[in-house]
Amino acid sequence: MLKIAFIGLGKMGFPMAGRLCDAGHDVGVYNRTASKAEPLVTRGATVLESVSDAARYGDVVLTMLENDAALSAVALRDDGLVAGMNRGGIHVAMGTHSIKLIEALVKAHDNAGLRFVSAPVLGRPPAAEAGQLGIIAGGAPDVVDTCQPLFEAMGRRTYAGGSEPVGAAVAKIVNNFILACSIEAMGEGFALGRKCGLPAESLYQILTDGLFGAPAYKIYGKIIADEDYFNQPGFSATTGLKDVLLALAAGEGAAVPLPSANICRDRLLSAIASGHADADWSVMAHEQARVSGL
Amino acid sequence: MLKIAFIGLGKMGFPMAGRLCDAGHDVGVYNRTASKAEPLVTRGATVLESVSDAARYGDVVLTMLENDAALSAVALRDDGLVAGMNRGGIHVAMGTHSIKLIEALVKAHDNAGLRFVSAPVLGRPPAAEAGQLGIIAGGAPDVVDTCQPLFEAMGRRTYAGGSEPVGAAVAKIVNNFILACSIEAMGEGFALGRKCGLPAESLYQILTDGLFGAPAYKIYGKIIADEDYFNQPGFSATTGLKDVLLALAAGEGAAVPLPSANICRDRLLSAIASGHADADWSVMAHEQARVSGL
Amino acid sequence: MLKIAFIGLGKMGFPMAGRLCDAGHDVGVYNRTASKAEPLVTRGATVLESVSDAARYGDVVLTMLENDAALSAVALRDDGLVAGMNRGGIHVAMGTHSIKLIEALVKAHDNAGLRFVSAPVLGRPPAAEAGQLGIIAGGAPDVVDTCQPLFEAMGRRTYAGGSEPVGAAVAKIVNNFILACSIEAMGEGFALGRKCGLPAESLYQILTDGLFGAPAYKIYGKIIADEDYFNQPGFSATTGLKDVLLALAAGEGAAVPLPSANICRDRLLSAIASGHADADWSVMAHEQARVSGL
Amino acid sequence: MLKIAFIGLGKMGFPMAGRLCDAGHDVGVYNRTASKAEPLVTRGATVLESVSDAARYGDVVLTMLENDAALSAVALRDDGLVAGMNRGGIHVAMGTHSIKLIEALVKAHDNAGLRFVSAPVLGRPPAAEAGQLGIIAGGAPDVVDTCQPLFEAMGRRTYAGGSEPVGAAVAKIVNNFILACSIEAMGEGFALGRKCGLPAESLYQILTDGLFGAPAYKIYGKIIADEDYFNQPGFSATTGLKDVLLALAAGEGAAVPLPSANICRDRLLSAIASGHADADWSVMAHEQARVSGL
């Protein structure tokens, strides 16, 4: 049976690793703050002491890290995965990362005789706990097949992200970018409606009852209709900007102009300039209202 | 019982008038091309000979006209509704019209001692036939209440568009504008995905299976994933541009900047410049692909 | 010798008509507010009582009217120029007008056996007084040639606007649109500079001393560097918006996307929404500063 | 007298260093490709063997490097300037660099007890040879004063870039960004003119004879009017994109939305996607023409 190492036990990584344990896999876990690994021991996990240990432990190493800097350090440093994994080993990066880093990792793993898969996930911590994530897997088909039992332990569905890891990586980026565009469009639409005397609640009903009856519009339309940007930020303006910049950087690399992403970028910068860096990223709509004289 | 006159028996107006007949209302119908009115006679309608006749016939006159020019002519000409209706009569404009015209109609009806409601509809001909339209009613609450039985004959739900007709008018405009933004965002996202090796079908599944599981994305995402812009245009680039321009004009009147609408406008102009005026308006995605070098 | 009728004696038209008088032409003048015509009598002008009189008086009728509504009324009403001018007569429209109106005028004059030239001017009242306007003449070459002595009395240079009146009309629109873009670009650049500690006066020197040593940058860069938007508006935000909308409408007619014009439009709308409709249109930079948190 | 080390003898650096020699300064020169330094020996320069040597040689070290990577290596590597210069030494970075790198350099020099000035230049190689550069100097006033004799040997004028190096750095970035905007605005304006029958040469004359009589418009307007993008690229689309991205990155760091820069970015990406990466960056206008159906 495959031995698995799991690196990164944050809000998403912890429940994902837990699902793998519960499914009976042999799982070694590593987290920079070691204490976070302890609760997994009772579920069968082996606590590992270092990235090097993880590299040696797993036939498959899964990483669920928060940003490029963390993944780059774990994978590419002298004592990192690429240097330490056994030839033929598989590294599956499950975080949301830039195309540039994914391309660099593809090359580095290839040079080292390792296999690399990008498998970003859709869903939030409760979905991770319930094993209900969407998983977008990109990489060589045989390697993705090998990982499929692991994906099944963590997710409700695996999407074919293509035979190159960048395909899967960009899918997650595009998903988040389109969400930003939805919020921006609602911000503009609600501002126009309000200035013309249309009750925000009516507009919300009209949209979500019809063409836009989906979580993106239900969740963010509600926040915008209620102008409730500051109480319980789920995803901050700063984090939203990071995601939009990932889309723009991907566009720069692939020579794809993204005018809608530009608008989201500018709106988020303006929100941040107004002191709303920590508000929910739908504060974009608040900025739109402001430049509309509301 | 209220006597109703219905003007405009096009693809939407015909089934709407038919529903009113079937519900037992006293309905007079007028259409510029008179032959279209005939089939309604067997359902109980009285055929009217002119706009003037319609003005005199109805306690409530409903208009379902294709554009501003048609409604303006019917309502404001010397032999039009405003000149011909009896004091206290109600005119309900159910087409999609500019805020500027709605404002002019409010004033004209007011000056003539008439009541005016804007009640644009959501849905396509099959929904009109089934009495399943969404109806956004804006105007004085007592007048809207008077019309509610008529709306119930035609629609599944009436949305409160506010106490001013412009509020309801803008709701329809905003709905269509946000749809344009969804198409544009998908166009950009699919182009980026394709250039990074992501299968279009996978991206479609990812989007519609998750945050974007709604008709806007299912219908137009499918067309974009299949690059099927030219076979069965539902809504042409020219018509789409008209709708986006309605949003921009509303924004100009209300001093609301609409950067996302600008992008849709430019994209549609570019599609038209490329010779795709009659393609489905999601040809926006085709233009995006072209400037991405695809 | 040609008899000339001049309609529209505003801030520009008055000195232009005066130059024609001084050059010895036979000039009849008409203005809606008749008193404005009086001072030209001593310079040799004949005061005309109506547009009809002007239509009959001139072999060439020059109009210098403030907007489309005024020109449309003067030219196209039942007692207007097209109805009243003698066959073969020449109408030269020297104001800044929409492409749509110019196209309609071309058709109307053509149908009536009249000749039509669009000849918008560059320069402000002092240049008009000094006969130093730039004149962009578009129309049939023989007709433009006939008018050249008149242009020489009013201007320093005549530019070839092409053999169709729309060409000249669009030249003026493009000139003003590019000016708007310059102001917007400076607004963005000065905001970025200020947030990074660059003295505005230095940036002004750098720009105007080098690549941008031209009136557009010297005049508006100074206002922006001094943040002096409110004291002596030369050209208001409302007027600026009107010009940008002329460019956008021209783009819509010709299927030309104009993303930079969109930005100027949105910026001006935002300035107007903030209550700055009457400020100098470079208040665009003030809005940019505001969304930058300055 | 101050001893000077000059690092980076490219198309700009070589003539700049030569001017310093000719002015009688004690100049040590270093270039990665050593042969480029030879011709300066006859003008009095001392050839240095390494960055370390340069660090030790100069009371003032001037760097004129092509990009961030080169400057970062020269300044921050273990054997670089920051590690090697004598306490109190001055490093003047004269290339065009990102705000992020300049900020990092400020901190690094400060920690090492060194003084740092950013002094980017305006002008091309012939201006450098003639000592006619514009120099934007940003840093502590006493340090800038110390460097002023050097600036006088190389430039026609020193602009006060503020007391922080980032101010001067951003000035150069803003200058280039506004140039990009000028090109974009012309691209849009010429496309609109051409579709309306306006001769491109006329538009060029109108613009450069009036409000836009400055090098930015004369140089690039000519290329656009002549559609001469491919023969003698002065500054490629790739290089132009690099400059626009510097502006956008500065905006991200300072929370300044830059919608005009976004448009330039997208236009350049589209040109690159079309295979025009090596064309003159005014190929932006070619892309605009293409999406206008020309």
Looking at the complex, report in whole angstroms how far the Cα of residue B75 sits from the nearest Cα belonging to chain C: 23
- Residue D148: strand, helix, or coil: helix
Sheet of B46-47, strand order: B46-47, B26-30, B3-7, B60-63, B90-93, B115-118
pLDDT at A38 exceeding the cut of 80: yes
Sheet of A26-30, strand order: A46-47, A26-30, A3-7, A60-63, A90-93, A115-118
Does D293 contact B274 at a Cβ distance shorter than 8 Å? yes
Does B293 contact D287 at a Cβ distance shorter than 8 Å? no
**Whole-number pLDDT of residue A232:** 81
Place of tokens 């699919």: B190
Whether D242 contacts C210, CB under 8 Å:
no
Structure tokens at B185: 């965002």
Q: How far apart (Å, rounded) are the C-alpha atoms in residues A290 and D94?
A: 40
Whether C190 contacts D178, CB under 8 Å:
no
**Whole-number pLDDT of residue B153:** 97
pLDDT at B276 exceeding the cut of 90: yes
Looking at the complex, report in whole angstroms how far the Cα of residue B244 sits from the nearest Cα belonging to chain A: 12
Q: Does B178 touch chain A if contact means CB atoms closer than 8 Å? A: yes
**Average pLDDT score over chain A:** 97
Looking at the complex, report in whole angstroms how far the Cα of residue C58 sits from the nearest Cα belonging to chain D: 28
Looking at the complex, report in whole angstroms how far the Cα of residue C105 sits from the nearest Cα belonging to chain B: 21
Q: Kindly name the residue from C172, C195, C218, C242 that is annotated as catalytic.
A: C172
List chain B residues with CB under 8 Å of A205: 159
User: How confident is the model over A266-275, as pLDDT tens digits?
Assistant: 999 999 999 9
Torsion sign (Cα): D162, D166, D168, D174 = negative
Residues ≥6 apart with Cβ < 8 Å to C148: C137, C158
Structure tokens at A130: 């319930």
**Average pLDDT score over chain C:** 97
pLDDT at A135 exceeding the cut of 90: yes
Place of tokens 């939305």: D257
Does A291 contact C275 at a Cβ distance shorter than 8 Å? no
User: How confident is the model over C31-67, as pLDDT tens digits?
Assistant: 999 899 999 999 999 999 999 999 999 999 999 999 9
Report the DSSP pairing between strands A155-160 and B46-47: unpaired
Least confident of C102-116, D46-60, D231-245: D231-245
Does A257 contact D266 at a Cβ distance shorter than 8 Å? yes
Most B-contacting residue of C256, C263, C265 (CB-CB within 10 A), to test interface? C265
Residue D40 DSSP symbol: G
Q: For residue A275, how many other CB atoms are within 10 A of its CB?
A: 10
- Residue A236: strand, helix, or coil: strand
Looking at the complex, report in whole angstroms how far the Cα of residue B5 sits from the nearest Cα belonging to chain D: 46
- Rounded to 10°, the helix B200-209/B215-226 angle is 180
Most A-contacting residue of B118, B133, B174 (CB-CB within 10 A), to test interface? B174
Does A217 contact B215 at a Cβ distance shorter than 8 Å? no
Whether C150 contacts C62, CB under 8 Å:
yes
User: How confident is the model over D227-279, as pLDDT tens digits?
Assistant: 999 988 779 999 999 999 999 999 999 999 999 999 999 999 999 999 999 99
Residues ≥6 apart with Cβ < 8 Å to C35: none
ipTM, two decimals, is 0.96
Q: How far apart (Å, rounded) are the C-alpha atoms in residues C198 and A50?
A: 47
Does C270 contact A287 at a Cβ distance shorter than 8 Å? no
**Whole-number pLDDT of residue D213:** 97
Backbone angles phi and psi of D233, in degrees to 5: -55, 120
**Whole-number pLDDT of residue C285:** 98
User: How confident is the model over D75-121, as pLDDT tens digits?
Assistant: 999 999 999 999 999 999 999 999 999 999 999 999 999 999 999 99
Query: A–B: how many Cβ contacts below 8 A?
Result: 239
Among the listed residues C132, C130, C119, the one whose alpha carbon sits nearest the alpha carbon of residue C159: C119
Whether A99 contacts A249, CB under 8 Å:
yes
pLDDT, mean of residues A239-255: 97
Does D269 contact A251 at a Cβ distance shorter than 8 Å? yes
List chain A residues with CB under 8 Å of D257: 265-267, 269-270, 273
List chain C residues with CB under 8 Å of B100: none
Helix (H) or strand (E) run with residue D135 in it: strand D133-137
**Average pLDDT score over chain B:** 97
pLDDT at C154 exceeding the cut of 80: yes
- Could you give the percent of chain D with pLDDT greater than 70? 100
Residues 207-266 of C with CB under 8 A from A: 259
Structure tokens at D80: 């670089």
Looking at the complex, report in whole angstroms how far the Cα of residue A83 sits from the nearest Cα belonging to chain B: 27
pLDDT band at A234 (very low <50, low <70, confident <90, very high): confident
- Residue B118: strand, helix, or coil: strand
User: How confident is the model over A252-269, as pLDDT tens digits?
Assistant: 999 999 999 999 999 999
Q: Kindly name the residue from A11, A172, A218, A222 that is annotated as catalytic.
A: A172
pLDDT, mean of residues C289-293: 97
Q: How far apart (Å, rounded) are the C-alpha atoms in residues C251 and C248?
A: 5
- Could you give the percent of chain B with pLDDT greater than 90? 98
Q: Which residue from A minimizes the CA distance to C272?
A: A293
B232 class by beta-carbon count within 10 Å (0-12 exposed, 13-18 middle, 19+ buried): exposed
Q: Alpha carbon of C75 to those of A125, B209, C47: distances in Å?
A: 70, 60, 19
Q: How far apart (Å, rounded) are the C-alpha atoms in residues A192 and B173?
A: 10
pLDDT, mean of residues C188-194: 98
- Residue C274 is nearest to which of A275, A287, A293, comparing CB atoms? A293
Looking at the complex, report in whole angstroms how far the Cα of residue B183 sits from the nearest Cα belonging to chain D: 18
Q: Which residue from A minimizes the CA distance to C195?
A: A273
- Residue A184: strand, helix, or coil: helix
User: How confident is the model over A167-220, as pLDDT tens digits?
Assistant: 999 999 999 999 999 999 999 999 999 999 999 999 999 999 999 999 999 999
Among the listed residues B170, D259, A192, B175, the one whose alpha carbon sits nearest the alpha carbon of residue C273: A192
pLDDT at C234 exceeding the cut of 90: no
List chain D residues with CB under 8 Å of A272: 255
pLDDT band at B232 (very low <50, low <70, confident <90, very high): confident
**Whole-number pLDDT of residue B234:** 80
- Residue D293 is nearest to which of B259, B273, B293, comparing CB atoms? B273
User: How confident is the model over D274-284, as pLDDT tens digits?
Assistant: 999 999 999 99
pLDDT, mean of residues A222-234: 92
Q: How far apart (Å, rounded) are the C-alpha atoms in residues A281 and A186?
A: 13
Q: Alpha carbon of A141 to those of A117, A145, A165, D209: distances in Å?
A: 10, 6, 11, 63
Q: Alpha carbon of C109 to those of A173, B114, C137: distances in Å?
A: 57, 41, 17
Residues 263-292 of D with CB under 8 A from A: 263, 265-267, 269-270, 272-273
Residues ≥6 apart with Cβ < 8 Å to B112: B82, B83, B85, B87
List chain D residues with CB under 8 Å of B274: 291, 293
**Whole-number pLDDT of residue C128:** 97
Residues 39-98 of A with CB under 8 A from D: none
Q: Which residue from D minimizes the CA distance to C133?
A: D210
pLDDT band at C286 (very low <50, low <70, confident <90, very high): very high
User: How confident is the model over D190-229, as pLDDT tens digits?
Assistant: 999 999 999 999 999 999 999 999 999 999 999 999 999 9
Q: Which residue from A minimizes the CA distance to D258?
A: A266
Query: B–C: how many Cβ contacts below 8 A?
Result: 49
Q: Alpha carbon of C41 to those of A176, C3, C14: distances in Å?
A: 71, 16, 12
Sheet of D90-93, strand order: D46-47, D26-30, D3-7, D60-63, D90-93, D115-118
- Residue B214 is nearest to which of A163, A166, A217, comparing CB atoms? A217
pTM of structure: 0.96
Does A262 contact D262 at a Cβ distance shorter than 8 Å? yes
Q: Kindly name the residue from B100, B107, B172, B222 that is annotated as catalytic.
A: B172
List the alpha helices (DSSP H) in D85-199: 99-111, 125-129, 141-154, 165-195
**Whole-number pLDDT of residue A233:** 76
| Residue ranges of E strands in chain A | 3-7, 26-30, 46-47, 60-63, 90-93, 115-118, 121-122, 133-137, 155-160
Sheet of D121-122, strand order: D121-122, D133-137, D155-160
List of chains touching A (3+ CB pairs within 8 A): B, C, D
pLDDT, mean of residues B257-274: 98
Q: Does B165 touch chain A if contact means CB atoms closer than 8 Å? A: no
Structure tokens at B126: 């099959």
Most C-contacting residue of B238, B242, B248 (CB-CB within 10 A), to test interface? B248
**Whole-number pLDDT of residue A287:** 98
Q: How far apart (Å, rounded) are the C-alpha atoms in residues C30 and C37?
A: 7
Q: How far apart (Å, rounded) are the C-alpha atoms in residues B64 and C26?
A: 56
| Catalytic residue check, C172 | yes
List chain D residues with CB under 8 Å of A259: 262-263, 266
CA D80-D83-D86 angle, to 5 degrees, is 110
**Whole-number pLDDT of residue C24:** 96
pLDDT at C233 exceeding the cut of 90: no
D157 class by beta-carbon count within 10 Å (0-12 exposed, 13-18 middle, 19+ buried): middle
Looking at the complex, report in whole angstroms how far the Cα of residue C250 sits from the nearest Cα belonging to chain B: 12
Q: Alpha carbon of A170 to those of A6, B193, C10, C190, D26: distances in Å?
A: 23, 6, 60, 35, 54
pLDDT band at B1 (very low <50, low <70, confident <90, very high): confident
| Residue ranges of E strands in chain C | 3-7, 26-30, 46-47, 60-63, 90-93, 115-118, 121-122, 133-137, 155-160
**Whole-number pLDDT of residue D233:** 76
**Whole-number pLDDT of residue C264:** 98
Task: Enumerate helices (H) and strands (E) in chain B, giving the number of each.
Answer: 13, 9
